[in-house]
Amino acid sequence: MRITQIMLSKGFGGAERSFLDTALELAARGHLVQAICCRDFVEIEQLKGVERLRLETIRSGAEWNCLVSFKIAALIADFRAEVIHTQLRRAAWHGAKAGKKLGIPVISKLHNYVDLAHYKNVDRILTTTEDQRAYALSHGWAESSVSVIPNFSRVPAVSLVRSPSSDPLRLLSYGRLVKKKGFDVLLKAFARLVAGGVDAHLTIGGRGPELEYLRDLAHQLGIDDRLSLGEWIDSVETALDWADLFILPSLDEPFGIVMLEAMARGVPIISSLTKGPSEVLDDATAYLVEIGSVDALYDAMQLAASNRADSLKRAACALVRFQESYCADAVIPRIGAVYRELVSGVTD
């Protein structure tokens, strides 16, 4: 199948990861893929020189910029795409206008709870959770026009969870350093853990506007020598294989691809009960805590530190769940089925 993938943002978060991984995985499985992205996309090098993948770059314009839609339509027409798959609001707007002009079905992945007016020309919305699906239905979308397909990760799954390292206990979290990720909550809980006598080290990977605030907070809490903060993680696999415990302290997390990465590498997980993690994880697969609660996060960290056999048992269950439902082999065929349905008009 000839598939156009569109994503027009410059940075790199969960939605951008989804675009990159989906394009690469489809090409690896024999499809002809056109990847249209902003020429300043920070991970653009990963799309260069890939067999069966044609990379196209454009200047990313606002929704009102009709020239962007015309340019995208011209690129898609030249590629002779059978289906268009977009990621995020701007790509949905421009991609759907191009699809309507060319008579090509358009699928848009909904990553957040955004104004769905930007998706009015889309043929099918993909949501990553049932909660997002309910949101789309509550805004007038027909049930037949919304499909739930979770995110996946291309991070290779381990065959077995490994035994924890010797002390110190290695804690890991990463993501964009913004308020909604809850890293300040994590620092406060970690300070209590260390003050209680647990020999531990915390790494928080990523960059963002909260970096200096978090550094100041860590200094105030007296944990500078127990913390690595703001490090850029080049290899997710290496970082996770170093860790004994992965923590997702988000205040708002529509899905959370990072938890899939931890599941794949067999790392025990503590997560706040935000919307995405609460649909993927449960008490058999992770330690789940109240959103924004320093006390609850500290209690879970203390429990995991004191009973490592239990944390490994949960990690093993999470690994099985990843292999069954959240690896590429589990998710990509479901996406392909939606493509075929829209192209042929027949449900598999």
Paired residues of 289 in beta bridges: 272
In angstroms, the CA 271 to CA 287 distance is: 6
Cβ neighbour number for residue 180 with a 10 Å cutoff = 13
Cβ distance 336 to 126 under 8 Å? Answer: no
pTM of the model: 0.92
pLDDT, residue 348, reads 46
In angstroms, the CA 280 to CA 180 distance is: 19
pLDDT, residue 64, reads 66
Q: In this structure, what token pair is assigned to residue 141?
A: 């979308």
Amino acid making up residue 234: D
pLDDT, residue 104, reads 97
Q: Mind listing the domains of the chain with CATH numbers?
A: 2-152+328-344 (3.40.50.2000), 169-326 (3.40.50.2000)
Given a cut of 50, the residues of the chain with pLDDT beneath it are 348
pLDDT, residue 245, reads 96
Which residues, in sequence order, are CB contacts of 134 under 8 Å at separation 6+? none
Residue 214's Cβ-side half-sphere holds a number of Cα atoms within 13 Å equal to: 26
Cβ neighbour number for residue 68 with a 10 Å cutoff = 23
Closest to 298 measured CA to CA, from 272, 280, 262: 272
| 188-194-199-202 Cα dihedral, nearest 10 degrees | 20
> What is the b/e burial string over 289-322, where b = at least 16 CB atoms within 10 angstroms of the residue's CB?
bebbbbebbbbbbeebbeeeeebbebbbbbbebb
Q: Is the peptide bond before 254 cis (omega within 30 degrees of 0)?
A: no
Q: What is the pLDDT of residues 154-203, one digit of tens each?
A: 999 999 998 877 789 999 999 999 999 999 999 999 999 999 999 999 99
Cβ distance 5 to 332 under 8 Å? Answer: no
Q: What is the pLDDT of residues 74-119, one digit of tens each?
A: 999 999 999 999 999 999 999 999 999 999 999 999 988 998 988 9
Q: What is the DSSP string of 2-52?
A: EEEEEE--SS-SHHHHHHHHHHHHHHHTT-EEEEEEETT-TTGGGGTT-TT
In angstroms, the CA 242 to CA 239 distance is: 5
pLDDT, residue 346, reads 55
Amino acid making up residue 175: G
Cβ distance 33 to 20 under 8 Å? Answer: no
> What is the b/e burial string over 186-204, where b = at least 16 CB atoms within 10 angstroms of the residue's CB?
bbbbbbbbbeeebebbbbb
Query: Strand order of the sheet with strand 32-38?
Result: 53-58, 32-38, 2-7, 83-87, 106-110, 124-127, 146-148
